[in-house]
Chains A and B, each alone.
Chain A
Amino acid sequence: MRLAADERARVPFALVGVLVLVSSASLSASLGTVAPVRRDAAVEDAVDRAEATATPALRAAVREAARGAARNPVVAPADTPAGRVLNDSEPFRDALRIRIYLRARDRFADATYRQDGVRARASLPGIDDPADLSAAKRRVEIERLHDGTAIAVTVENVSLTARRDGRTAASESATLSVAVATPVLAVHDRTERFERRLDRGPTAGPGLGRRLTARLYPVAWARGYAQYGGAPVGDVIANRHVELAANGAALAEQRAAFGRSDPDGRRAFARAAAETGLHDLTVGTVSTVDGRSDAVLPSPVPEPPWQGTTPRYVNGESQGEGAAYDGAERGERLTVGVNRTADAALVALLDGTADRPAAAVRRDAYRAETRLATDVERVRSGSPPPARPPGENWTLVAERRSAEYEVSTPGERPNATVEAAAAPIADPSETVIEATARTVVERRTVERTWVRGNRTRTAERTWTDRYRVRIAVVGAYAPIDAAAEPDRPIEPRFERGGALGGPNLADVAAAARRDHVTDRGGPDAVAERAVEGTLETESVARYGTRPDRLEPWVYRDLAALREDVRDVTVSVPAREAATGRANPPAALATALRDRREALVDPPETYDGAADRARVAAREAYLDSVIAALAARADDTRAAESGYRDAISDAGVSMGDLRAAEEARARSSDPDRRTVGDESGLGGSVAVVPDGDPGYLTLSAVSAEHAPSLPAGERYHGLAVRNRNVFAVPYGEARDAAFEGLFGREETVALRTAGETLVAANRTLDGRTTGEPGADDEELRRQREELRREVVASLATVRRETRRILGRETDLTRGERRAAVEAALARWDGAGRRATAVDNGSYAEAVVREAASRASLAAPRDDQLATRLRVSAARTSRSTRVRVPRETTAGTASATRELTRASLRKYRDAAVDGAVDEATERAAGRRLSDLPAGLPLLPVPGSWYATVNVWTVDVRGSYPQFVVRARTGPPDGVGGALQYVRDGSAITLDVDGDGAPERLGRAERVSFETRTAVAVAVPPGGGGIGDGSAVQESPAWPRPGCASGPAADCRPDRVPAADARADAVGGPIRGRPGRRPQRLSPLADEGETCSTTQPRIRDRCRRRSCDRPTNRNSPR
């Protein structure tokens, strides 16, 4: 069978073809099933690419968020659902994290990767409620890099989703990390550091308080000394100085915190420094708070004020803001002398109120002790016969002895040798006044009676002894209290001669001879008694006769010494006096003790007893001075402790003052520098603060000076309270200080009253102002009252003077009265007389008047003058002489008011240059004539310093404080990160519903600090002090918006949400106008601040927080 023909069991080729076709179809189909695998690769690739795209998007988001967060820094979180998400301790960082989240979310939406129909993108979940917001915040971690000039951001849990045809093809989550060079944390952290430093007191560490102290100290000292020196300085520390010092200190603090200071602030400071300096030299009295802003703050001009010329600011950057005061830094010292204590001690010595009165000192110098010195020598000794009974059994019943003397002068020896022979029996220090020798023969007899039975027998036997007796009258010079005196030989002694040629104890020698020898029967009798053993040889003290000339002679010597002592001075640092640490009288006492030997100036050998009396008086006088100084030192201690108490009543402790003073020394001007370093991501960054205004004035500024302020609003950048503890008029503080010295008497010294009276008179006469019309009924009345008081005090002084004249002179009652009146008549008016009484010129005048009426022997006039001077000091403490404080203070205030008013008038006129400068200066001087400050001690002669203390409270607030970090790429608006603190509320649309939520507030940069300055000037003059006890700047105690805390002068912005509605929603929707804001779940509940920072909380409470001045940044 042919195969071709055989068709049985044949598989048709077609069947094979079908098989092939089916196979190929299935292969094709199977090939088609590969496609999904290839699609997965595309999706994966897309996811990868999406992550790669998301990273730059995140970088951009961080940059934008940083700008937004800096522009709208949340310093105090709001008590809203959104605000509560922010941590109290670092709301700024939390707000930044939220902003980064929101910006990243937006940016991710724009960064979609598309390829082959696959859309891949990174995404973050939306925010609907606070829990979402909190979760969002937690996803973002930020870390400070390179000193805050860069930031490391990590966003966790970013979803990467790939979608194809609207279906999710793949999804994974990733953590994205970027490091971005943006100095957002640097500007915020440094601004916070700046605020902390501004708030720091002088004792708390480096900061505004310390710098303020450092700047105020030289001002206070320089002006205090100028005022003391008679310059027309009305207020030693005026608020304008505080303003200048606070601003200079704030600029230095800016450099410390940021590395740079506000250039506009520096210029304004230079102007203010120049203006203040000029002003203080010319008028120096009137506060110029008004119009200050115009003078210091130029209207904002786009060009630099000194474009084209080299700026030369006296106090510019190159020299530092402190340069203006460098010259004023002096180490003032107070020279304190013994002064009137020398008089007082002399009078005490004369009057016997000192330990040893002068008369006693003189008498004691003439004291001597004399005695009789004898020496008995048996030359030949007879032997007493033995008692031999006449026979057996005789009993001796009685024995009677007797002696007979026979005295003869030994003729064989000359007198000289007799005296030499007598010498050994005297002490070497004793002077032999008279010496002689005798030979005594003692013929002795013994009569014995013997008895035997009734028989009696008497036997008499005799024998002879021979004695040589030396007799001397010796004297020892024995002044009392000799131990304190230099032990020097005295020559001559017990004979006429020596200084003054007086008796010089010769009378003592004569008396001794008489007493010891003559009155005892002469030498023979004495010799006999010496042998006999019945001679009394006790020494006898005697005072020699003082010559009449001794007292004036010693006084003249003391007067000379007094002048030497008066000139002894010590120098104490004035700063120590200012802080109650100096006790000059104690130092003087020490100085006198050290110089005692030189002052006493004893001779090698006393020229007789008179010389010895003179030196003893010098000794006694120095003791008296030292004792008086010790008493003065006790008074000083009491006064210093009173001073401390007084200022502590004013809220300042001495410790504070000292700490402030020491802090001053530690304050130095920081250098200019940049933040970060070149190795950081963003390199080193210049961070420049920009206050608006850069110089905070006491007067209000408006938009003209601080453009950030809303038009029509006025703002006080600075509020200052400057309290002068011991101001004119004398206040309570002074009474407290001297309670220990004068009791609780509210009185002032006669000097104070007198000077006040003089100043009042001058003002009323019109001599102050150059116009006689300066009449003031109130002042006239006050003056009259004070005059009466002063006249009454002067009457007491008159009485006292007459009493002294009566004691010291031979003037009759009428003459005394006439002398006193003539002396007083040398001064015109009660005020000047009071001053003359105090400064001692009255005493001199009385002496002169008394001398012209009666002859006063040379030392008596000096004595009189001394007594009068001392009497002035003594009576000054008496309440009958002291003048009621109330009266004095009333007159002082009235004078000051009137003078100020006329000065103000003159200053206004001076603008036209119409006023004679001399008149003006004279007027200013009148103010400084009024006594001020706390005298230590307020007793004539003990006054070593006048101290005063100022406490200065400064509160400030920058209406707007911008910190610019110049870094990064250029942009249209200056290429800098701007950190703006202007008090606005910060809102941010966190949930994307178009209605922004309030996060918190960009609190203004505000500060408050306090310091105290103490100044001490030498005594005399008008002292030192301000006219007004308290100077408060217009805004005290609350710097800020002039129209009140409710308005708060916040920048008047259109709320951004509305702006957006206008710009986009309105026109596009075709219905212009604002759409009503929906309240989202995060909507505001009215702001009440929830912060732990008390200062901010207070500020919040003061503000009505629901004012719709929101600002937000576009999301």
Chain B
Amino acid sequence: MTSTVADVSLCLLLVSAGVATVATTDRSAPEPRNSVADATAESLATATTTVTYAWEPTTADGAPERATGDENVSVARTAHGTYAELLADGTAAGATIDGRRLSPRREFDRSVRRAVAAATGSRVQVAAAWEPYPGSHVGCRTVVGPSPPSDADVRTATFAVPSGFPSVRGETRRAARGGAGFDGVARAVADRTVAGLFPPDEARPALHGDYRTARAVRERYRRAARTTNASVAPHLAEGDARGANERLTAALAPAIEAELRAQYDSPAAAADDLRLARVEIAVRTWSA
């Protein structure tokens, strides 16, 4: 009798083990996707639109230039691209150093934000951010749409679009592995940042170009120089974009190096985390 009891007990034990085996089998089913956020992100990345804005030249002190004579100084311009591209353009063009904008805020930003807001709807927030590495004092952020309420169930989708800045990660990573220090990485970051802010091949003819273009470029250089305590005036006077860039790079590199040292354990880790060439776009959606 006892053997029967033992038998049944063993049976039950084995059955429960079997159940457990089946129950504990990893089905690894994917989590349900937050479809609204993803869909919004996808359409922002792929759908194109046209934004018209007025390009208003400014005088040296940043005020809008008044019309002289019969010339109309305000020029209507058109930009075409995906929403994400336009957001990225606005973000990269509105770069700040220590929170100070290099170029005056332009109507383009407003137009792009308006276009994105019209395309996304009320319960969506789109944030575009460009920074060479997380927590950099150089960068820019554009936010479209309201912030979600604190108690809302927020879904987020993120993607990246090219910022137009030269990519630096591959080379710095190789260099860091090759033994370069934080200073080298910082210098490379500074160099590419400045090269992205002031593409020398473009800046040089622009400095020699018509006076409005030249003035806008000069003013942008001056603002950057003021913020970083660099001296670019002599280079600007000669239209030497490369020289001005070198000054800015030299002025920017120490601050970047300090930030990198504070954040990362090694130059290689820092090099891995560079994201100069990307504008990260985050789409947050929530339900009421």
A residues lining the B interface (CB < 8 Å) = 4, 12-18, 20-25, 27-28, 31-32, 34-35, 38, 42, 52-53, 55-57, 59-61, 63-64, 67-68, 71-72, 106-107, 109-111, 116, 150, 180-181, 263-264, 300-304, 306-312, 318, 681-686, 688, 690, 692, 707-708, 960, 962, 964, 966-976, 978, 980, 1053-1054, 1059, 1063-1065, 1067-1070, 1111, 1113-1114
Chain A residues within 8 Å of B25, by CB: 27-28, 31-32
The interface residues of chain A lying within 8 Å CB-to-CB of B198 are 972-973
The 7 closest A-B pairs by CB, nearest first: A17-B14, A24-B18, A683-B78, A1068-B175, A181-B80, A13-B11, A17-B11
Do B55 and A972 touch across chains, with their CB atoms under 8 A apart? no
Complex: how many Å from CA A31 to CA B27?
Answer: 7
Once A17-B12, A318-B70, A1063-B188 are accepted as A-B contacts, the answer to whether A975 and B55 lie under 8 Å apart by CB is yes
Given contacts A24-B17, A304-B211, contact A1069 B42 (CB under 8 A): no
In residues 249-281 of chain B, which contact A (Cβ within 8 Å)?
Answer: 249, 277-278
Question: What are the residues of chain B within 8 A of A64 when measuring CB–CB?
Answer: 162, 164
A566 to chain B, nearest CB (A): 58
Instruction: Name B's A-contacting residues (CB within 8 A).
Output: 1, 4, 6-8, 10-15, 17-22, 24-30, 42, 45-46, 50-52, 55, 68-70, 75-82, 84-86, 89-90, 92-93, 95, 102-103, 106, 108, 159-162, 164, 166-168, 170-172, 175-176, 178-181, 183-185, 187-188, 191, 195, 197-199, 201-203, 205-211, 213-218, 220, 238-239, 242, 249, 277-278
Decide if A1068 touches B45 in the complex (CB within 8 Å).
no
Which interface residue of A24, A688, A1114 has the most chain B CB atoms within 10 A?
A: A24
Q: Could you say which residues of chain B place their CB within 8 Å of the CB of A55? A: 45-46
Query: Which chain B residues border A38 with CB–CB below 8 Å?
Result: 28-30
Does B21 lie within 8 Å of A25, measured CB to CB? yes
The answer to whether B162 and A57 have CB atoms under 8 Å apart is: yes
Q: Return the contact of B46 from the options A56, A1053, A1111 (Cβ within 8 A).
A: A56
Given contacts A150-B80, A972-B197, contact A111 B206 (CB under 8 A): no
B184 touches A970 (CB 8 A): no
* CB contact under 8 A between A307 and B239, given known A14-B14, A971-B93: no
Nearest A residue (CB) for B38: A49
Most chain B CB inside 10 Å of its own CB: which residue of A4, A68, A976, A1064: A1064
Contact B4 A966 (CB under 8 A): no
Find the A residue at minimum CB distance from B51: A969
Chain A hits for B215, CB < 8 A: 302-303
How would you classify the secondary structure of chain B's contact residues: helix, strand, loop or mixed? helix
A1065 vs B174: C-alpha distance in the bound complex, in angstroms? 10
Contact check, B162 vs A302: say whether CB atoms are below 8 A apart: no
Contacts of B51 in A (CB 8 A): 969
Q: In the bound complex, how far is the Cα of B25 from the Cα of A34, in angstroms?
A: 11
Bound-state CA distance A107–B161 (Å) is 10
Report the Cα distance A23→B22, complex, angstroms.
9
The listed residue (B29, B55, B208, B277) touching A692 by CB distance below 8 A is B208
CA distance A812 to B248 in the complex (A): 106
Q: Is the CB of A21 within 8 A of B209?
A: no
Complex: A708 Cα to B238 Cα, angstroms: 10
CB contacts (< 8 Å) of A971 on chain B: these are 89, 92-93, 164, 199, 202
Contact B162 A309 (CB under 8 A): no
Cβ–Cβ contact A974 & B1, under 8 A: no
Q: In the complex, A974 Cα to B13 Cα: how many Å?
A: 79
- Say yes or no: A107-B162 contact (C-beta < 8 A), given A52-B46, A967-B78: yes
Q: How far is the CB of A360 from chain B (nearest CB, A)?
A: 80
A116 with B30, Cβ < 8 A, contacts A181-B81, A707-B208, A974-B217 known: yes
Residues of B contacting A972 in the complex (Cβ-Cβ under 8 angstroms)? 93, 95, 102-103, 197-199, 203, 217, 220
When distances are taken between beta carbons in the complex, the residues of chain A under 8 Å from B201 are: 68, 71-72, 1111, 1113
Q: Are B211 and A302 in contact (CB under 8 A)?
A: yes
Residues from chain A with a CB closer than 8 A to the CB of B15 are 16-17, 20-21
Q: Establish whether residues A1063 and B187, one from each chain, have CB atoms under 8 Å apart when the complex forms.
A: yes
Q: Inside 8 A of B213's CB, which chain A residues have their CB?
A: 964, 973-974, 976
Shortest Cβ gap from B280 to chain A (Å): 12
State how many angstroms separate the Cβ of A95 from the closest Cβ of chain B. 15
Question: What are the residues of chain A within 8 A of B170 when measuring CB–CB?
Answer: 109
Q: How far is the CB of B84 from chain A (nearest CB, A)?
A: 6
- A25-B18, A1067-B183 in contact; A969/B205 too (CB < 8 A)? no
Q: Are A681 and B80 in contact (CB under 8 A)?
A: yes
CB distance from A318 to the nearest CB of B (A): 7
A263 → chain B closest CB, angstroms: 6
Query: Considering the chains assembled together, what is the distance between the CA atoms of A728 and B171 in angstroms?
Result: 72
Question: Nearest B residue to A968 by beta-carbon distance?
Answer: B79
Which residue from chain B places its CB closest to the CB of A686 in the assembled complex? B75
The answer for the CA separation of A1053 and B220 in the assembled complex, in Å, is 23
In the complex, what residues of A have CB within 8 A of residue B181's CB?
1070
Contact A1064 B171 (CB under 8 A): yes
Q: Which residue of B lies closest to A1059 (CB)?
A: B242
B203→A4 contact, CB < 8 A:
no
When distances are taken between beta carbons in the complex, the residues of chain A under 8 Å from B76 are: 683
Contact A24 B8 (CB under 8 A): no
Q: Shortest Cβ distance from B276 into chain A, in angstroms?
A: 10
Q: Which among A31, A71, A1053 is the interface contact of B22 at CB below 8 angstroms?
A: A31
**In contact, A1054 and B45 (Cβ under 8 angstroms):** no
Question: Which chain A residues border B89 with CB–CB below 8 Å?
Answer: 969-971
- Identify B18's interface contact among A20, A57, A978, A1064, CB under 8 A: A20
Complex contact A111–B160 (CB within 8 A): yes
Contact A110 B77, CB 8 Å, known A708-B208, A972-B103, A978-B205: no
Residues on the B chain within 8 Å of A707, using CB: 207-208, 238-239
Q: Is the CB of A27 within 8 A of B50?
A: no
Q: Which residues of A contact B80 (CB under 8 A)?
A: 150, 180-181, 681-683, 968
Known: A53-B159, A972-B93, A972-B203. A181 touches B209 (CB 8 A): no
- 19 further A-B contacts with Cβ under 8 Å, apart from A1063-B187, A1064-B171, are A15-B11, A21-B21, A24-B20, A28-B22, A31-B22, A56-B46, A71-B201, A106-B167, A688-B210, A708-B205, A964-B213, A967-B79, A969-B51, A972-B93, A974-B209, A976-B206, A1065-B175, A1068-B180, A1070-B180
Contacts A973-B202, A973-B217 given; indicate if A56 touches B108 (C-beta within 8 A): no
- State whether A683 and B50 are in contact (beta carbons under 8 Å apart), knowing that A692-B208, A707-B208, A972-B198 are contacts in the complex: yes
